[in-house]
Structure 1
Amino acid sequence: MKFLVLAGGSGTRLWPLSRKNFPKQFLKLPTENNGCESFFQKTLKRLSLYKDAEIFIITNEKHKFYVVNQIEEISKKLKNKPAFEIILEPASKNTAPAIALTLKYAIQKGISPEEVFFVSPSDHIVKPDEEFVGYIKDSEEIAKRGYIVTFGIKPARAETGYGYIKVKMPETETFYRVEKFVEKPDIDTAKKYIEDGNYFWNSGMFAFRVDTIVEEFKKHSPELGKIFEKPYDEVLNNFETLPDISIDYAIMEKTDRAALLPLNIFWSDIGSWESLYEILEKDSADNAVIGDSLNIQTERSLIVGNKRFIATLGLKDTVVVETEDALLIAKKGECQKVKEIVKILSEKASPQVEEHTTVYRPWGSFTLLEKGHRYKIKRITVNPGASLSLQMHHHRSEHWVVVKGTAKVKIGDKEQFVHENESVYVPKSTLHRLENPGKIPLEIIEVQVGEYVEEDDIKRFEDAYGRQDI
């Protein structure tokens, strides 16, 4: 059995913590006793319990280095050591093209048409892990018989944030045959589904044989079905022309081979701030709190802090989420509408949609400390042994002050070591590179001055991560 992890989403419903270039799957929230693992890492940890797992991960090119770094972090904790393959989407095109592209890659590598794939999102919580592996094994046996298996969650409440699946009764052996997939309903419709008893939440997880799903792609989604008739490189080069469509729309709503396996353990897609509230530990006033806060006469609320101290007074059923550059205050029950905020901010090209003030790069990260007319101040962290590209800026000069570690700096033809409390100056239009030759993270303060101080004023000449411009 092979695994396909979908890690290309650009999650909007957990804004402002989740951003387009740092989506939900890479967030590290204390949803359990251990808050140092992201949703993506928890997914890999869960799937790695399946012995000799081979895990294909498909993600957007922008997220490649998050994936690589988080795999390196979690690999040290895994008892079983799965093989990882990373497939990069040239553009975000929803789940159907992502699945088809990964399968084409696997087929071209020589994978058997009878191999079973298990497809999983990378931003859900499922527990306990060991029991979940048992369900995966059950789905494999059903998929071997030619079914496309989906996992259904028995609704605990009338939920408008999930899609639903109606099953045919009675149960067939250990699973149901699917009657239809249903879009996210309004509250009255959701209540009717609960009363009916034949509806399950759609978990977004699937299992199928390679030959089964390829046949269904060709039958129900011919444009995507053509992927399997072309060389992988040609598919990759033309990926942006493919339809933006989910696997539900492309296949599952049309196929007569869908089967539902009930999942009788805990599951949440953390699709809203209310979903996160439900799974966090609560204090005596039923508040779920992350970060440093003082909450007086505040009840049944979610308080998520970052660096600021938060004080609340007299709040009830409220969501407060603070980041370095944005603050969300919402009434519980309204958080599915957060995506409307993101849409408006996107139309205004607001930077709060794209990035956090801390931006991760393959060599480390930088944090924007202050920005004004003709200047910008950053804190830059370079990982041990890592280096920035050999680069040049035409519109700004830079002044670097080392606050921790040792920097190896190349400016023009000159190379030198710069230590704590020492500084160097990088003139405009001068080739330069910053490197950390040491054993601890290098931290510097960078002051940029010039007529233009945006990130696109950079020309790379050499880069260890394949980003050079010439």
Structure 2
Amino acid sequence: MKTIILAGGSGTRLWPLSRDNFPKQFLKLKRMDKSIFQMSFERCLKLTGLEEIYIVTNINYKFWVLGQIEELGYKFNEDHILVEPSGKNTLPAIYYGVVEIQKGGDDIVAVFPSDHLIEDDDGLTRVIKQGEQLADKHVITFGIHPKKPHTGYGYIRPKEPLTVGYSVEEFKEKPDLETAQIYLEKGYLWNSGMFMFKTDVFIEEVRQYCPEVYNAFQLSDIKEVYNNTISISIDYGIMEKSGRTAVIPVDIRWSDLGSFDTFYEKFSGDENGNISFSDVTLINSVNNLLYTNEDKAVAVIGAEDLIVIDEKDALLICKKGYSEKVKDVVNKLKSTNDPKADYHLTTYRPWGSYTILEEGFFYKIKRISVLPGKKLSLQLHHHRSEHWVVVKGTAKVTVNALVKFVRSGESTFVKSGYKHRLENPGKVILEVIEVQLGQYLEEDDIIRFDDDFGRVGTDDAESELNSSYKEVAVL
């Protein structure tokens, strides 16, 4: 068996926690020591070996995928990270993985989104292995037994029993609450978005029911493939049309964290139904979700059914039941080119991360964290100088021809126009406070001369995260 993890979604309905440059699957939420992607990856390891896992993502997220797998202690085959040139929904993403897998011959494939929270991995693993017997004739989805009527999920109506699970009568889109109650009473299942099939069966179903995707993948260049394919979900493209679909019920605690309303349902609250992720003083308040990232005193009085998400640079206050509208907020911010739609104050790089602490017209202060054994590119800036103060670890600093070590409590200075590089030769994370001074402080004032991650020349470090697909993986 092979597994495919879909890791390209941006999760805009969880803004401001999740943003395009750091989406929900890579977040480590409070109370969690691993990201949702890392938990998905380990779930796949219960089914297959490391070499049997394929991950479909985009160029923006490739280094997160590699970094978070490395954090788990694994060295992953980069050839198994399939980079989509553009997002075209789930069917082209899954088909991309299937085509790559079938180059080694027919095999059974299980497909998992990277942004689902599942509490009983062992229970799910058992059900998936039981379902392998259907894979040579069916495209299988896994249905979750509903605990209550829910308007945020699609539904599946089972039909005749099979040796395991059922054939599918029909798929239903997200219903209103009254219809969801009817579905619950009639034994419908939630559509989990997890699938299993044999590669030749799936390819034939795509050829028959979605020839636009099938024909596009006859081209050899992946950019041309994505230029020619349509954007379509696997549900619309295959599952709702095929006569070979099956559903296997799974009785597990599952959430796709698709909105803050489902986020609220995932976690347990106090005796008044309040869920908070830090110390909050609550007076006469019930059924609220409170997520604050700063060490600040928070008090809530007389509030009911509110969602409050407090990040350093953004604040969301939303009435429960309206969290699907958060994506409209993101769209409005994007329409005005507000960077807060896409970027956190913390930006992740293949070598670590930096966080903007403060900025003004002619200065910017950052906290830079460099992972052990990693180094930034050899670079220069025309319009700014940089002061580096090491607060943790030891830095190996290159300035023109001079190479020196700067230890905790020591500092160094880089003039504008000087080639320089920051490196962590140690075994603990290097933390540096960087003070930039100059007339122009944007990230596109950079020329790279040498880089471990393929980024050389004049480039915009932020557009790296949002640019169109490049043949050389810059991350």
Q: What's the counterpart of residue 129 of structure 1?
A: 121
Query: What's 1:58 paired with?
Result: 56
Secondary structure of the structure 2 residue equivalent to 1:56 = strand
Match of 1:12 in 2: 12
Q: CA deviation at 1:363?
A: 0.8
| CA-CA distance at 1:82 after TM superposition | 9.2
1:183 aligns to what? Answer: 173
**CA gap 1:163/1:17 in 2 versus in 1, 3 angstroms:** same
Asked whether the equivalents of residues 109 and 197 of structure 2 are also in contact (C-alpha less than 8 Å), the reply is yes
Give the 5 Å matches for 1:76-91: 85-91=80-86
Q: Indicate the SS of the match to 2:161.
A: coil
Mapped contact 2:158–2:170 kept (Cα < 8 A)? yes
Q: Does 1:221 align with 2:235?
A: no
Deviation at 1:353, TM superposition (A): 1.6
Deviation at 1:441, TM superposition (A): 1.7
Query: C-alpha displacement at 1:51, in angstroms?
Result: 5.3
| One-letter amino acid of the structure 1 residue matched with residue 444 of structure 2 | D
TM-score normalised by L of structure 1: 0.91
How far apart are 1:30 and its partner, in Å?
4.7
Give the match for residue 235 of structure 2.
248
State the secondary structure of the residue aligned to 2:204: helix
**Aligned match for 1:47, one of 44, 48, 51:** 44
User: How far off its partner does 1:235 sit?
Assistant: 2.5
* CA–CA separation in structure 1 for the residues paired with 2:86 and 2:55: 15
Q: Residue 91 of structure 2 aligns with which residue?
A: 96
The correspondence for 1:393, drawn from 378, 381, 391, is: 381
Contact kept in structure 1, 2:66 and 2:76, CA below 8 Å = no
Q: What SS is found at the alignment partner of 1:185?
A: coil
Asked if the contact 1:43–1:124 (Cα under 8 Å) also holds between the matched residues in 2, the reply is yes
Asked whether the 8 Å contact 2:381–2:446 carries over to 1, the reply is yes
Aligned to 2:24: 24
Provide the identity percentage: 48
Moved more, 219-228 or 61-70: 219-228
1:151 and 2:148 aligned? no
Q: Distance in 1 between the 2:37 and 2:12 partners?
A: 16
Given residue 40 of structure 2, which amino acid in structure 1 is its aligned partner?
T
Cα distance per residue 1:163-222 (max 9 Å; x no partner): 222333x43343222232222223343334334x15321110110110011111111221
> What amino acid does structure 1 have at the position aligned with 2:248?
L
1:361 is matched with 349
User: Given the alignment of the two structures, is residue 300 of structure 1 paired with residue 297 of structure 2, yes or no?
Assistant: no
Which digits, 9 at most, give the CA deviation of each residue in 1:399-440, with x for residues without a partner? 222222222111222222222333222222322111112232
Deviations 1:10-36 (A, max 9, x none): 1111111111111111111256xxx10
Code of the residue aligned with 1:398 in structure 2: it is E
Instruction: Report the Cα distance in structure 2 between the residues aligned to 1:206 and 1:51, rounded to whole angstroms.
Output: 15
Seen in structure 2, the aligned counterparts of structure 1 residues 172 and 104 have a Cα distance that, compared at 3 Å, is closer
Partner residue, 2:101: 106
Distance 1:364 1:400 in 2: 16
In 2, the alpha carbon distance for the partners of 1:140 and 1:227 equals: 29
Report deviation, 1:297: 2.1
Which consecutive unaligned segments of at least 5 residues does structure 2 have? 459-475
Query: 2:217, 2:225 within 8 Å by CA — same for their partners in 1?
Result: no
Does the CA-based 8 Å contact 2:216-2:228 persist in structure 1? no
Deviating 4+ runs (over 4 angstroms): 81-84
Q: How far did 1:238 drift?
A: 4.0
Q: 1:280-325 CA distances to partner (integer Å, 9 max, x unpaired)?
A: 1222222112123222222221111112322211222211111111
Q: What secondary structure is seen at the aligned counterpart in 1 of 2:334?
A: helix
8 Å Cα contact 1:48/1:82 also seen in 2: no
Q: Distance in 2 between matches of 1:392 and 1:104?
A: 42
Question: In structure 1, what is the equivalent of residue 199 of structure 2?
Answer: 210
Give the conservation status (yes or no) of the 8 Å contact 1:380–1:443.
yes
Q: 1:133 deviation in Å?
A: 0.6
Amino acid at match of 1:257: R
Secondary structure class of the residue paired with 1:13: helix
Match of 1:280 among 257, 262, 267: 267
Q: Secondary structure at the match of 1:133?
A: helix
Give the TM-score normalised by structure 2: 0.90
Residue in 1 aligned with 2:318?
330
1:199 is aligned to 188
8 Å contact kept, 2:2–2:48: no
Q: 1:418 aligned to 406, 419, 441, which one?
A: 406
Q: Deviations over 1:210-260 (max 9, x none)?
A: 0011111111221211255343xx134542443222111221122111111
Deviation at 1:452, TM superposition (A): 2.1
Q: In structure 2, which of residues 409, 420, 423 is the aligned counterpart of residue 432 of structure 1?
A: 420
Contact 2:134/2:164 (<8 A) preserved:
no
Is this contact kept in 2: 1:360–1:366, CA < 8 A? yes
* Structure 1, 420-429 or 128-137: larger mean CA deviation: 420-429
Secondary structure, counterpart of 2:263 in structure 1: helix
- Tell me, yes or no, if structure 1 residue 141 matches structure 2 residue 128: no
CA RMSD, 1 decimal: 2.1
Distance 1:459 1:242 in 2: 36
Once residues 100 and 11 of structure 2 are traced to their aligned partners in structure 1, the CA distance between those partners, rounded to angstroms, is 26
Identify the range of structure 1 (318-327 vs 391-400) with the bigger mean alpha-carbon deviation: 391-400
Query: Can you give the 5+ residue segments of structure 1 that lack an aligned partner in the other structure?
Result: none
**Whole-angstrom CA distance in 2 between matches of 1:28 and 1:421:** 30
1-structure distance, mates of 2:86, 2:409: 43
Indicate the residue corresponding to 2:226 in structure 1: 239
374-383 or 2-11, larger mean C-alpha shift:
374-383
